[in-house]
Structure 1
Amino acid sequence: MGLWLQLFAFDVIGEVTFSQRFGLMDIGKESDVIKQIKNVLKSTSWVGQVPYIYKIHQLLSPIVGNRLSLTARNGSLRQFTADQVQSRVLRGSDHRDMLGRFLEINKAKPIDFDEAALLSMTASNVAAGSDTTAISLRSMLYYLLKGSRCMQKLVTEIEKTTEGMPPYSVVTYEQATAMPYLQAVMNEAMRIHSIVGHSMQRVVPREGIQIGQYYIPSEVIIGTSPYVLGRSEGIYGPDAKTFRPERWLEDGKKYDLCYLAFGGASRLCIGKSNGNPLDEGAFGND
């Protein structure tokens, strides 16, 4: 089931980015692009936590060759993305998808957002969007199947929302966001099994910062892991390791301050606007 959710997420990202499914649900197996994405994310995790690895790699790569998928200048993912961009440019289209928006920016600001930036942004959307969406879908399905009570509450809410709708109708974005228990299930799934496990690092401002009883000096690098924070009993109580969506209906505003599934504040992940609707669409339609 985990594989099928990965393939589903990848196909949906294709629709969002290119208005075109990749067809992996039809094939039923991973493509070379997905395999490369996995390698890219592995090397990104290393470089993100130990940046000097990148510098050492760049010095040695002329001798030992490329060993970080993150720095690959070719390969399945890049070629696939380049082909999609080239095809759209040649045939033209008025699709209001992500690629369409990128092309509009490229046309309006060709220097600030050149073809290399366009290709990089499009490839990043495919690489980051598909894998993270698959993780959240797997977490939601796993905990819902594990707890029949939660599953039944969600099914009841969906049935109430779709009552009177024709068979096989699609739940709209507005309907999905108006389902409080569905939203709670999504938050709880990404709290207890975060998309990102490593520390999200930040640099302390020049004036330093006082956090509670602790003073942290200027330009010190600090960070916290969404996985650790999401399971903190100091925040979520003694049942922090238990999947209980109701907590978000009881005191959601309090927990929102500590919810780092998509980062926070000015560093909020831009993919949140894609990730949540995909999860809502997958579980909001029965």
Structure 2
Amino acid sequence: MSSIIPSPPWLYSAATGVAAHVTLFRHGEWDGSAPNILISYLVVFTILNVKNLAELVTGVKDQSAFQLLSCHFVGLYGSIIVYRVFFHRLRKFPGPLAAAVTALYASFLPAKRLNKFEEVGKLHRKYGDYMRLGPRELSIADPRAVPFIYGPASKTTKGPFYDGGEPYISVHTTRNKLEHARRRKAWDRAFSFRSLRDYEHRVSRYSAQLLSAIAENVSRPIDMARWFNYYSFDVMGDLTFGKSFEMLVTGKDAYMLETLHKDMQSMGPFLHAMWILPLFKKIPILNKSYLTYCKWLNAQVDIRTKNEPEKPDVFTQLSREFQAGAKTEKDRLHFHGDVNVAVIAGSDTTASTLTNLFYELASSPEFTRMLQSEIDSVKEKTYQELSQMKLLNAAIEETLRLHPAIPSGMQRVTPKKGVQIDDTYIPGECLVQMPLYSLFRDERCFAQPNQFIPQRWTDRQDLIKDASVYIPFGLGPFSCAGKQLALMEIRRVTVDLLSRYDVSFAKGQTHEAFYQGQQDVFTLVCGKLQLLFTERVSD
């Protein structure tokens, strides 16, 4: 019988694991502390490995540090699992059992490819509008919940996902609402109507460069997903760093684009387990790419600071905010974070939207001809004129509905008192996220939800049942500051291309291949889109 009962040191070690969970890890957010936690355990393991120390601590001979820590972790993770499954405040919400146990479930949900938004949609069809997708995370597909989670009066705040940029905290990753409101002012100035008018000729310059690249490939297959990335990144490189990345000229990926997409593919699966990212940044060798990128970013900011252009740009407005402050090391990191997100957020989402727009235009030749007629009827194709084109705007709106730039939605944390959505109560301090891909294709909100019908935004508004869920640029204080610039870029290049060319799929390009190439890495990244551009024949 005595051989069955564990010796007291084993029990004590397991008890310390339970105690660590109950008194520490059950409370607050620990994602950012992952490196310190790992170091602490390594220190304890090292100390206990000192000769005879384990015996001195436990009073038992041959008690190894490995055995002690193993028992500690059994107690720790046993307590975590039992609490999450049977006692957690989200235990009553349906969902996969594995999701209740670990956040890694959502990370490995798209096992074959990064298509989490599709997999989450399937799960919602099985479990309903409110589904537990993580130990303290709910995925919500209830259209009624939008104003409570994302609206201007919402009491939710940004979740730990937004800490992933530390120490570079941009306005996008700022979780404090007051701090966000203060820093947002510089962004609003950077994208004011006056600023946009100043940017118009620079956007047109890169649209012309894209047209030159297409002119060299008329009637030949061209991967427009790649070239739209070149276009959007060259625009934002100019408006932020004061110089283009020259991708439209060289036809080759610049360092930033190559690094960004490589890192997004490697880290994309772990957006629900954010404790992995701080570890990645701290572990030698693994963090080489990250450290190299940080040095590159700092160098670009320093170069741009010394070369102020004649006309203000996005960098100018962000720099003024920094220069007017105390200019502490923290301020400098925040400034660099803003510059970084200006290029990335202003490029990646625009590129994916353009790619998806031209996928839909190539799929809908009849509508495309109608759009070309509207384009032909506009004499002065200025920013203001393009913004008033009904069919063009409808095509963009419908593209963003079918292919939202942030398909899985934005992570939020509920306030301590929780959130009541009609008859559903969501407990406090829980992570919530609304999958925009599912919402925008919900039959309760849109008739024929999976069909590309731009006219639903013009003269077929009977196809819109609930427009309140349509928030492709976000809603409330955290909405996208660069929305109008993105629309300017999209309108400009779409009009320039369709004025000159007809568009169709290249041989071998299928709808299935295009959808399979899409990746959800917070923003939507498109795979190849092989198109043919042929000269339009005048009537």
**Contact 2:401-2:440 at 8 Å conserved across structures:** yes
1:73 and 2:291 aligned: yes
**Offset at 1:127?**
2.1
Q: Which residue of 1 aligns with 2:483?
A: 272
Q: Which residue of 2 aligns with 1:26?
A: 249
Q: Which residue of 1 aligns with 2:301?
A: 85
1:145 and 2:145 aligned: no
1:240 and 2:449 aligned: yes
Q: What is the rounded CA distance, in whole Å, between the counterparts of 1:44 and 1:257 in structure 2?
A: 32
Larger relative CO (CA 8 A, sep 6+): 1 or 2? Answer: 2
Structure with greater helix percent:
1
Structure 1's 269 and 117: CA in aligned 2 closer, same or farther, altered over 3 A?
same
1:206 and 2:416 aligned: yes
Q: What is the rounded CA distance, in whole Å, between the counterparts of 1:48 and 1:271 in structure 2?
A: 23
Given the two structures, how large is their TM-score scaled by the length of structure 2? 0.47
Given the two structures, how large is their TM-score scaled by the length of structure 1? 0.84
Q: What is the rounded CA distance, in whole Å, between the counterparts of 1:255 and 1:173 in structure 2?
A: 30
Q: Percent identity?
A: 26
Structure 1's 200 and 186: CA in aligned 2 closer, same or farther, altered over 3 A?
same
Please tell me the residue identity of whatever aligns with 1:106: F
Structure 1's 281 and 44: CA in aligned 2 closer, same or farther, altered over 3 A?
farther
- Which residue of the other structure, out of 420, 425, 429, is the alignment partner of 1:219? 429
Match of 2:338, SS state, is helix
**Contact 1:132-1:195 at 8 Å conserved across structures:** yes
Match of 1:236, SS state, is coil
**Offset at 1:210?**
2.4
Aligned residues: 271
Structure 1's 24 and 265: CA in aligned 2 closer, same or farther, altered over 3 A?
same
- Which residue of the other structure, out of 191, 194, 207, is the alignment partner of 2:404? 194
Please tell me the residue identity of whatever aligns with 1:28: G
Q: Which residue of 1 aligns with 2:322?
A: 106
Structure 1's 80 and 173: CA in aligned 2 closer, same or farther, altered over 3 A?
farther
| Residue segments in structure 1 that go unaligned for 5+ positions in a row | 166-170
Q: Which residue of 2 aligns with 1:168?
A: none
Structure 1's 110 and 73: CA in aligned 2 closer, same or farther, altered over 3 A?
farther
Map Cα deviations across residues 38-96 of structure 1 (whole Å, 9 max, x no partner). 133345644532222235546xx3466328x6xx2322xx4454343323332433431
**Offset at 1:220?**
2.4
The alignment yields a C-alpha RMSD, in angstroms, of 2.5
Q: What is the rounded CA distance, in whole Å, between the counterparts of 2:405 and 2:245 in structure 1?
A: 23
**Offset at 1:226?**
1.3
Map Cα deviations across residues 134-192 of structure 1 (whole Å, 9 max, x no partner). 10000111101110122112111111122xx4xxxxx2221121112111111111111
Q: Please say which of residues 125-134 and 267-276 is displaced more in the overlay.
A: 267-276
Q: What is the rounded CA distance, in whole Å, between the counterparts of 1:193 and 1:142 in structure 2?
A: 11
1:284 and 2:495 aligned: yes
**Offset at 1:257?**
1.6
1:13 and 2:236 aligned: yes
| Residue segments in structure 2 that go unaligned for 5+ positions in a row | 1-223, 500-539
